[in-house]
Structure 1
Amino acid sequence: MSDRAQDPLLLVLDDDHDLREGLTWMFETSDIHVKGYGNFQAFSADLDSVFQSGKELCLLLDLRMPDMSGLEVFRWLKNQGYSLDRMPVIFLTGHGDISTAVEAVKDGAFDFYEKPTTDERLIERVREALRKSREFLDNQSVLKQWSDRINKLSPRERQVMLYVAKGKLNKVIAAELDISMRTVEVHRANVFDKLKVRSAAELATLLSKLGDLFGFDHSDGLE
């Protein structure tokens, strides 16, 4: 029997109780854990704890609800900064809402399905959305590891790191920072050791990938 604490989680936000029950049964029998919400208030109150759970997530979101439409909920998620890669959104829509759902997909939704939705295609699409969520979590884990490594660098080592990534020679770095070449060599060795890179080219590639995350860009001017 699987450990529910670690299972992926499908959230269903739909005011139709019978539909929620039917979707829950369909997905639970396919080994996808479901948590249903009948209104936005219950959903939004629970969302932070769900995001912090470390589970893969997907949201099935009804486009038409009385208190707050699915489109309004979707825009709220984006405005609040909830990642649509962390929690891909699949809209549930009636026939007359197809064009609206298509626009939502263009705006970042993962997909949409027309009610009634009781087929294997939806189950597989949810699985794909959950895989996307897992990829996001795995990437965040890798970025966290690099963040921890970079945070171990001293301010001077960060300066040297940026110059090295730009391909500057040790003597040029020494002159720019007004320190000895020997000091540059020590800092350079420390940077390579702490970041576990072996060359200036590897360092430059790393910083190019991580620049946005850590607030620097080795291709721009140094501060």
Structure 2
Amino acid sequence: MNDVETSRTNQVLLLDDDQDLREGLKWMFESADLPVHGYGRFEDLRTELDAHVNSAARLCFLLDLRMPDISGLEVFQWLHRERYSLERLPVIFLTGHGDISTAVEAVKNGAFDFYEKPTTDARLIERVRQALRKSGEFLDNQDTLKEWMARIDTLSPREREVMALVAQGRLNKVIAADLDISMRTVEVHRANVFDKLRIRSAAELATLLSKLQERLGYDPLI
């Protein structure tokens, strides 16, 4: 576990119109050292959600499927429309017995899990911890991405061109011919790329760019 992860706090968000259930779950989770922000109305949650999402805390969202003013499924669809990441904000539905099929469909659409009420259960605590770890991994990946984007932004346009060709395994003389520059200039640019990105080889560069694109969704060659 890295230093960033150990410094993160946990936060469980709970949206359920049943005050007794909210208080029971709040007591259960806080007894397990998991702080809870409970909401009885979606509008109250919505006004504070961005503050939670933009914080450094790992999050898990416990969402009641059946509420009088807005259903949990409608809230889940709203999260999709507003483009909230379900990796940053894993959702666990709280369901009644008759809602199981709906909850299963929600899991297929990206929800983390569902639990049938009553939910005062050690298994739910463990599942919430797993969701919090997923949220933490997302935050760690975002921190890594920001760090690498900052390094790559220090490259000049020509250095980016050389970086792309080096990552493809091209020899210096081939890069020089492709870019119509001298081999000595290629060597300088290549050294600058390695220095600015703090890497030591073309193989390390190729692995880095592949991970940035595949795992973090960032293509520095565009």
TM-score if structure 1 supplies the norm length? 0.91
- Cα deviation for residue 147 of structure 1 reads 1.1
Cα distance in 1 between the residues matched to 2:51 and 2:21: 25
CA displacement at 1:215 relative to structure 2: 3.2
Structure-1 separation of matches of 2:154 and 2:69: 49
Q: How much does 1:6 deviate? A: 5.1
SS in 1 for 2:22: helix
- 2:218 is aligned with what amino acid? F
Per the alignment, in what secondary structure is the counterpart of residue 82 of structure 1? coil
Give me the whole-angstrom Cα distance separating, in 2, the residues matched to 1:211 and 1:30: 38
Name the structure 2 match of 1:31.
33
Q: Secondary structure at the match of 1:10?
A: strand
- TM-superposed CA distance for 1:216, in Å, is 4.5
The aligned residue for residue 174 of structure 2 is 172
Does 2:120 correspond to 1:129?
Answer: no
> In the alignment, which residue of structure 2 is the partner of 1:159?
161
1:158-206: per-residue Cα shift (whole Å, max 9, x none)?
0100011111111221122121111110000010111122111111111
- CA distance, structure 1, for counterparts of residue 49 and residue 185 of structure 2: 50
Q: Which residue of 1 aligns with 2:4?
A: none
Taking the aligned partners of 1:128 and 1:215, their CA distance within structure 2 comes to 29
How much has 1:48 moved relative to structure 2?
0.7
Q: How far is the alpha carbon of 1:81 from its aligned partner?
A: 1.4
Question: Are 1:146 and 2:163 matched, yes or no?
Answer: no
| Structure 2: stretches of 5+ with no match in the other structure | 1-6
Correspondence for 2:10: 8
Q: Distance in 2 between matches of 1:38 and 1:88?
A: 19
Contact 2:152/2:220 (<8 A) preserved: no
RMSD: 1.5
Deviation of residue 214 (structure 1)?
3.2
Would you say the 8 A contact 2:209–2:219 is kept in 1?
Answer: no
1:118 matched to 2:125: no
Shift of 1:65: 1.1
Question: What is the CA deviation profile of residues 75-111 of structure 1, one whole-angstrom value per residue up to 9, with x for unaligned ones?
Answer: 1112211111111110000000000001111111111
Residue 220 (structure 1) aligns with: none
Secondary structure of the residue that 2:189 maps to in structure 1? helix
Contact 1:7–1:33 (8 Å) recurs in 2: no
SS at match of 2:70: coil
Q: Structure 1 CA distance, aligned partners of 2:171 and 2:129?
A: 50
Query: Equivalent residue for 1:53?
Result: 55
Q: What is aligned with 1:200?
A: 202
Q: Say whether the 8 Å CA contact 2:9–2:56 is kept in structure 1.
A: no
Structure 1 alignment gaps of length 5 or more: 218-222
Contact 2:16 2:41 (8 Å CA) reproduced: yes
Q: Secondary structure at the match of 2:176?
A: helix
Q: Distance in 1 between matches of 2:69 and 2:43?
A: 9
Which segment is superposed worse, 5-14 or 46-55? 5-14
Residue matched to 2:218:
214
Matched, 1:104 2:106: yes
Aligned to 1:40: 42
Q: How many residues align?
A: 214
Q: Tell me how far apart the structure 2 counterparts of residues 6 and 85 of structure 1 sit (CA, whole Å).
A: 16
Which residue is equivalent to 1:80? 82
Structure 1 equivalent of residue 71 of structure 2: 69
Equivalent AA in structure 1 for residue 154 of structure 2:
K
